[in-house]
Amino acid sequence: MIPFNKPAVIGDEVDYVNELINNREKFSGDGLFTKKCSALIEDLYDVKKVLLTTSCTHALEMAAILLDIKEGDEVIMPSYTFVSTANAFVLRGAKIVFVDIRSDTMNIDETKIEQAITNKTKVIVPVHYAGVSCEMDTIMEIAEKYSLFVVEDAAQGVNSFYKEQALGTIGHLGCYSFHETKNYNCGEGGALLINEARFIERAEIIREKGTNRSKFFRGHVDKYGWVDIGSSYLPSEFNAAFLYGQLRNVTLINDDRLSSWNLYYESLKPLADNKVLELPTVSEFCGHNAHMFYIKVKNLEERSNLIEHLKTKEIGAVFHYIPLHSSEAGKKYGTFIGTDLATTVESERLLRLPLYYDITKEEVLNIVKEIKAYYSVENRGDQIERNYSSRR
């Protein structure tokens, strides 16, 4: 069986977790390993301030609190995204305004954003799908023109770049995920990237249950208390220690994923050249992290058939998001502005193939072989089907 995902394990993680246990000083959050991870990310990607969180979902929730999102505010995002992108703002009472995506990158169509802006709009949330960057220059220009905030959902974009700038560091705030399905993981985890100094102090308070505890531990205040709203968004040191083992190996993991991604691309190119399927598009200004390898097939039916075929060959290929605007909660909390030209049709055609750290060359080539087999047999199948029906 080739599963869709295997969480990355490098081997060093256990050393750091052991170190934590042997030190026996601080197991709760904001200890040595939390600080090491934050410092490493700040250094690698040139970030003003990184706060580790319990998940990307929680980093998004912190962003919504930090930006004072309240009842009636509007937040613009693509409909083709994970529920947390929307939920974080709905929890503060915001209305979600969905706009269409680009059919090439599956990212928010930056040319459709402006028409969705009203005097209630507060935030634009670009989602860097598959670790491929949105058109950030245009998005930042629009945000500046209308005085809006930009929160990058860079859950899939850790170690991806847009014109040399790391994803998550371009908007006012950025959100990373260290969930087991992402490139670098600790089971469940995330980070809030703060790109403007004015947000730092309050973000620390929000992460510490609304208390000024961080300031207290630094000796800046002589007692700590409840000063704002907040929650428990600080991960345990166990998660941070494990994560540190992964972040120290960012290049190793990235190179490995990228070579599998490139192998898929080159091996499937003949099918794309013959217009049998489509391959992913990486935008011109993006250095990507090989988070995902997807193909696009003819339609929903063909996708279901191909998934079934691969399943019989013990290959775990999976589809992805059902557009949020067509979901039960999406209808209640959001509206789609403009015409859904790409979101629904493109999402129905997209199929993700297994891609994880240390998937072997043989496994990738085997998956490619089965996709090719499906298309040659399918053609013969059509033939048989046609002969059969004409006999009837």
Ligand X SMILES: *Cc1c(COP(=O)(O)O)cnc(C)c1O
| Angle, CA of 292, 293 and 296, to the nearest 5° | 125
* Closer residue to ligand X in complex, CB, 153/237: 153
State yes or no: residue 51 binds ligand X (CB under 6 A). no
By CB under 6 A, tell whether 356 contacts ligand X. no
For tokens 């040399």, name the residue.
164
Q: How far is the CB of 179 from ligand X (least distance, A)?
A: 4
Beta bridge partners of 295: 351
Q: Is 82 in the site for ligand X (CB under 6 A)?
A: yes
Give the residue with the Cβ less far from ligand X, 13 or 370.
Answer: 13
* Residue among 149, 150, 167 at smallest CA distance from 158: 167
Looking at 67-75, 81-89, 268-276, 376-384, which segment touches ligand X (CB under 6 A)?
81-89
- Written as one string, the DSSP assignment of 151-189 is EEE-TT-TT-EETTEETTSSSSEEEEE--TTSSS-SSS-
* 8 Å CB contact between 181 and 204: no
Our CB check for ligand X shows the closer of 346 and 370 to be 346
Cβ of 333: how many Cβ atoms within 10 Å?
Answer: 19
Provide the token pair at 95. Answer: 């209305």
**Is 23 or 283 the residue whose CB approaches ligand X more closely?**
283
Q: Does 73 bind ligand X (CB under 6 A)?
A: no
**Which range, of 63-71, 77-85, 246-254, 271-279, touches ligand X by CB under 6 A?**
77-85
Contact with ligand X (CB under 6 A) among 177, 211, 239, 347: 177
Please tell me the distance from the alpha carbon of residue 184 to that of residue 254, in angstroms, as a whole number: 9
The yes or no reply on residue 56 touching ligand X (CB under 6 A) is yes
Tell which positions 297-316 bind ligand X, by CB under 6 A: none
160 binds ligand X (CB under 6 A): no
Long-range contacts at 303-312 (CB < 8 A, ≥ 24 apart) = 303/348, 303/349, 303/350, 303/351, 305/374, 305/378, 306/351, 306/371, 306/374, 307/351, 309/370, 309/374, 310/367, 310/370, 310/371, 310/374
Q: According to the binding rule CB under 6 A, does residue 288 interact with ligand X?
A: no
Of 38, 81, 183, 195, the residue at the interface with ligand X (CB under 6 A) is: 81
For residue 236, state whether it binds ligand X (rule: CB under 6 A): no
- Residue 190 sits in the site that holds ligand X (CB under 6 A): yes
DSSP codes, 190-252: EEEEE-SGGGHHHHHHHHBTTB-HHHHHTTSSSS--B-S---B-PPPHHHHHHHHHHHTTHHH
Shortest distance, position 324 Cβ to ligand X, whole Å: 11
Of 51-59, 110-118, 214-222, 292-300, the segment contacting ligand X by CB under 6 A is 51-59
Shortest CB 27 distance to ligand X, Å? 21
Segment interacting with ligand X, rule: CB under 6 A, options 153-161, 196-204, 294-302, 337-345: 153-161
Sign of CA dihedral 128, 37, 92, 114: negative
The residue from 85, 169, 212, 249 that contacts ligand X (CB under 6 A) is 85
User: Which parts of this chain interact with ligand X (CB under 6 A)?
Assistant: 55-57, 81-82, 84-85, 127, 153, 155-156, 177, 179, 190
